[in-house]
Amino acid sequence: MQLTLWTYEGPPHIGAMRIATAMRGLHYVLHAPQGDTYADLLFTMIERRDARPPVTYTTFQARDLGADTAAIFQDAVSAAYERFRPEAMIVGASCTAELIQDDPGGLARALALPIPVIPLELPAYQKKENWGASETLYRLVRALAGRTLEPSPREGRRPRCNILGPTALGFRHRDDLAEIQTLMAALGIDVNVVAPWGASPADLGRLGDADFNVVLYPEIARAAAQHLQKTFGQPMVETVPIGVGATTRFVEEVAVLAGVDPAPVLAGAPSRLPWYSRSVDSTYLTGKRVFVFGDATHALAIARVAATELGFKVVGLGTYTREFAREVRAEAALHGIEATITDDYLDVEAAIQAAQAELVLGTQMERHVAKRLGIPCAVISAPMHVQDFPARHSPQMGFEGANVLFDTLVHPLMMGLEEHLLGMFREDAEFHDGAAPSHLARHGAAPAAPAAPIPPSPIPAPPDGVVAAWEASAEKELKKIPFFVRAKARANTERFARERALSRITVETLYDAKAHFGR
């Protein structure tokens, strides 16, 4: 275990909370010490939900450890049942309570409640949040879906599917679900159950009545879908419909399983992304070096969109979801790079710098890293902050999701170009910050005083033999280089100076390095 300033995933009981919060009629009793209720803020403050998660904490204190903590847990379970009267209950322990070994499942069974009680064994010191969500959904489906239900004959009815994967606190899950439901309706397919989003325990009992399953987020729903496939013989669609190409393949695969014609839906695909990729404007950004990092679902999908639909060059690809490391490594190999599989944001920062990326597509952590490095960034995956839960409809999936991706991936570069131009002209006699509006001079306005020179940033002296110090004039000249190649120019210049044992980097050094590496 490693202490860190930031973490990509919480412990597995947070994943279980995401499932419970997404559902109706389900309650989670969590054996946890006082203070673990911080998790409520993830949903009420970050996701901006209007209700607390359906979670009861035992909130035992240090002085309770010498007494009977098992009794505290049983009292909490009984009180939660009497107060909330849920259809079903899940019980488990947080990472701290796991050390006490009170066996929440056995203690809950001893109470003989008249509802299903599903115990969760979530090893907090080996697994993390997405795994916890996946395991919780799998356990619920296994316990509640039954084994005997079969779909009614296809004759005389429309095809039916289940949509699996959307959770609370998921990256754009609400909006992705709306897009996929719209696609299903356009194809003439009925949605039998959506789980866990909005589902009740009784709804999970109807999962076997569908013809096939749609897995939107494999990290969350693959295990449950595999169980349904084994139990009911239901095939599943695992193509993640992010981007025009993937959405087209998704529609075609769903149409085959449903026995419907996809042509009318595909003919009316309302996405502007393909138009942009064919336009003259796109040539300004073709070949831009992009680093992609996030959960496996989004990292894989966004890398493919960036490379095949926008013409970017993927120079970095990685994930913190180690369970999907094989898939990410295989995709990285197609781009001729080595995948970054890590849950340490400092490793990701080093990889971004080494790749000399011009655009970062990542998580909330990469947003901060890119800002520090002066590189444009867009958030495409959890973990994220409140600004990544917009009140407006903003999916990533489907054809409308491709429009959102078009904005998400292109705008940071376009706005960066604008900022670069503003920076270039900041000291111009007409455009500097102290200049009066140009039209006032014609009406006798006094000319504005020239802008004071911008003081150079102090340059700390580096350790001997590490890197040459930049002179202020060289730093100023470096800022005239476009932002999307500035990091590369800096790295090349420092390498040039290091190879020649130069102690200072001057303007001449900068241009000598440019000439050297431009050969």
Least-confidence region, from 321-330, 352-361, 473-482: 473-482
Is the domain of 301 the same as that of 406?
A: yes
Is the domain of 173 the same as that of 85?
A: no
Half-sphere exposure for 370 (CA within 13 Å, toward CB)? 26
How buried is 329 (Cβ within 10 angstroms: 0-12 exposed, 13-18 middle, 19+ buried)? middle
Residue labelled with tokens 């900041």? 426
Q: What is the pLDDT of residues 308-335, one digit of tens each?
A: 998 899 999 999 999 999 999 999 999 9
Tokens (6 digits) for 434 = 């102290």
Q: What does pTM read for this prediction?
A: 0.80
Is the domain of 300 the same as that of 404?
A: yes
Is the domain of 327 the same as that of 359?
A: yes
Does the pLDDT value for residue 143 go beyond 90? yes
Is the domain of 107 the same as that of 180?
A: no
Does the pLDDT value for residue 462 go beyond 50? no
Of 19, 8, 300, 7, the closest CA to residue 132 belongs to 19
Q: In this predicted structure, what is the pLDDT of residue 415? A: 58
Q: What is the pLDDT of residues 489-513, one digit of tens each?
A: 888 899 899 999 898 999 999 889 8
Is the domain of 75 the same as that of 32?
A: yes
Does the pLDDT value for residue 445 go beyond 70? no
Parent domain of 195: 160-269
Structural domain contains residue 483: yes
Structural domain contains residue 286: yes
Structural domain contains residue 85: yes
Residues 6+ apart with CB under 8 A from 365: 6, 8, 345, 348, 383
Q: Cβ(193)–Cβ(23) under 8 Å?
A: no
198 is in an annotated binding site: no
Q: How do strand 88-93 and strand 117-119 relate by DSSP bridges? A: parallel
Is the domain of 278 the same as that of 407?
A: yes
Boundary (domain end) residue, out of 226, 248, 269: 269
Is the domain of 283 the same as that of 403?
A: yes
Q: How many domains does the chain have?
A: 4
Q: What is the pLDDT of residues 184-211, one digit of tens each?
A: 999 999 999 999 999 999 999 999 999 9
Residues 6+ apart with CB under 8 A from 296: 218, 219, 319, 321, 323, 324, 327, 328
Structural domain contains residue 2: no
Does the pLDDT value for residue 420 go beyond 50? no
CATH of the domain at 511: 1.10.8.550
Structural domain contains residue 428: no
Active site residues: 281
Is the domain of 250 the same as that of 300?
A: no
Structural domain contains residue 417: no
Structural domain contains residue 141: no
Q: Cβ(9)–Cβ(95) under 8 Å?
A: no
Is the domain of 277 the same as that of 386?
A: yes
Tokens (6 digits) for 104 = 């929440």
Boundary (domain end) residue, out of 211, 238, 269: 269
Given pLDDT bands bounded at 50, 70 and 90, which one contains residue 450?
A: low
- HEC profile of 337-358: CCCEECCCHHHHHHHHHHHCCC
Boundary (domain end) residue, out of 269, 290, 306: 269
416 is in an annotated binding site: yes
CA distance 186 to 263: 11
Q: In this predicted structure, what is the pLDDT of residue 479? A: 81
Is the domain of 190 the same as that of 106?
A: no
CATH of the domain at 41: 3.40.50.1980
Q: Cβ(101)–Cβ(95) under 8 Å?
A: no
Alpha helices, DSSP H only, in 85-207? 95-98, 104-109, 129-144, 173-187, 201-204
Given pLDDT bands bounded at 50, 70 and 90, which one contains residue 98?
A: confident
Q: How far is CA 132 from the centre of its chain?
A: 16
CA distance 352 to 266: 37
Structural domain contains residue 510: yes
259 is in an annotated binding site: no
> What is the CB neighbour count within 10 angstroms for residue 482?
14
Is the domain of 89 the same as that of 173?
A: no
